[in-house]
């Protein structure tokens, strides 16, 4: 017979058993461990609850749990975003982490107006997970963001997954270290967020280059300039770069690239309606 209590107990037991103490930073002694994976007392300690309380929860005798506890437990058990959603569903709650992640698909009206009004170069809005929420027409011409994506568009994932990103950066090796290093800084600030683990895991599977850089523990802040070579015209251009916050929207950042020539900016804006290749050739002729 299937019920919520039985499924919760089976899921938590299986999640504990697939982990080794070293996976969660616990010391490993040469004792005779009779249980597979993590013990209940180890999970309860890491989740900051008593052994009795956790045992009652795992066995289904304790149902008055909070979202904060479930988020801590998901972090302890190294659950993916989907697994975290399943845990919350079994507990009869909705994940606040997942709700906020799903809600941040579009930029705020304030941020959208700022990027639309920025005419000195490419501008885009990202959240703290580096999901791209909006961009201006110049950015569409520059980086190839032609249409609103049907799936979440991530700045880090797009950087390593698309040939366009590799071609337009004059020094892609250095730029890749910068973007990975800045993301790691955000990762540390939100280390209990299971969505971050999914982002790192999915990009690692898709890109050996990202996997290698991530393993080297690079930490960085954004540089004040980037150099680009647009493949359509083969001309190197250096932009001044800045990251700005949005008043009243703490989870949004605006990335601004200022081009060196105002006439060049006007040409890009004037050619924005053309197909991308024709647009860039016209703008930079």
- Please compute, for residue 134, the number of CA atoms within 13 A of its CA located in the half-sphere on the CB side: 19
Task: Calculate what percentage of the chain has a pLDDT beyond 70.
Answer: 78
CB of 225 closer than 8 Å to CB of 208: no
> What order of strands is seen across the sheet that includes strand 123-126?
132-135, 123-126, 249-258, 235-246, 225-230
Domains and CATH numbers, the chain: 4-101 (1.10.260.40), 105-283 (3.30.450.180)
Whether residue 148 is predicted with pLDDT greater than 60 in this model: the reply is: no
Instruction: Tell me how many degrees the CA angle 186-76-13 measures, rounded to the nearest 5.
Output: 150
Q: Can you give the pTM of this predicted structure?
A: 0.62
Task: Give the pLDDT of residue 1.
Answer: 47
Per-residue pLDDT, 177: 94
Q: What percent of the chain has pLDDT over 90?
A: 26
Contact in structure between 178 and 160 (CB atoms under 8 Å) = no
Answer whether residue 104 shows pLDDT above 50. Answer: no
pLDDT digits (tens, 9 = 90+) for 48-90: 889 998 999 988 877 778 888 888 888 888 887 778 878 888 8
The answer to whether the CB of 53 falls within 8 A of the CB of 62 is: yes
pLDDT at 6 over 60: yes
Q: Which of 3-7, 71-75, 104-108, 155-159 has the least mean pLDDT?
A: 104-108
Alpha helices per DSSP H over the chain: 4-17, 40-46, 51-59, 67-76, 81-90, 96-103, 109-117, 137-143, 155-161, 163-168, 172-189, 194-206, 208-215, 262-270, 276-283
pLDDT tier for residue 240 given thresholds of 50, 70 and 90: very high
């Amino acid at each position: 017979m299937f019920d919520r209590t039985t499924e919760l107990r089976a899921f938590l037991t299986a999640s504990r058993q697939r982990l080794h103490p070293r996976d969660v930073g616990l010391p490993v002694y040469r004792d005779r461990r009779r249980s597979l994976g993590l013990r209940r007392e180890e999970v309860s300690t890491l989740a900051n609850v008593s052994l009795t309380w956790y045992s009652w929860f795992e066995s289904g005798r304790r149902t008055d749990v909070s979202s904060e506890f479930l988020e801590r437990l998901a972090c302890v058990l190294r659950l993916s975003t989907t697994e975290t959603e399943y845990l919350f569903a079994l507990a009869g709650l909705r994940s606040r982490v997942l709700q906020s992640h799903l809600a941040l698909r579009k930029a705020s009206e304030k941020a959208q107006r700022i990027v639309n009004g920025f005419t000195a170069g490419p501008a885009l809005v990202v959240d703290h997970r580096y999901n791209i929420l909006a961009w201006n027409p110049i950015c569409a011409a520059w980086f190839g963001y032609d249409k609103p994506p049907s799936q979440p568009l991530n700045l880090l994932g797009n950087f390593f997954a698309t040939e366009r990103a590799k071609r337009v950066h004059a020094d892609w090796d250095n730029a890749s270290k910068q973007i990975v290093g800045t993301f790691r800084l955000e990762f540390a600030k939100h280390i209990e967020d299971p969505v971050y683990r999914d982002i790192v895991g999915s990009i690692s599977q898709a890109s050996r280059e990202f996997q290698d850089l991530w393993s080297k523990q690079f930490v960085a802040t954004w540089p004040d300039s980037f150099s680009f070579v647009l493949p359509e015209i083969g001309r190197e251009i250096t932009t001044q770069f800045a990251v700005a916050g949005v008043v009243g929207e703490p989870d949004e950042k605006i990335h601004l690239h200022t081009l060196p020539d105002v006439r060049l900016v006007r040409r890009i804006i004037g050619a924005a309606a053309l197909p991308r290749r024709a647009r860039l050739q016209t703008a930079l002729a």
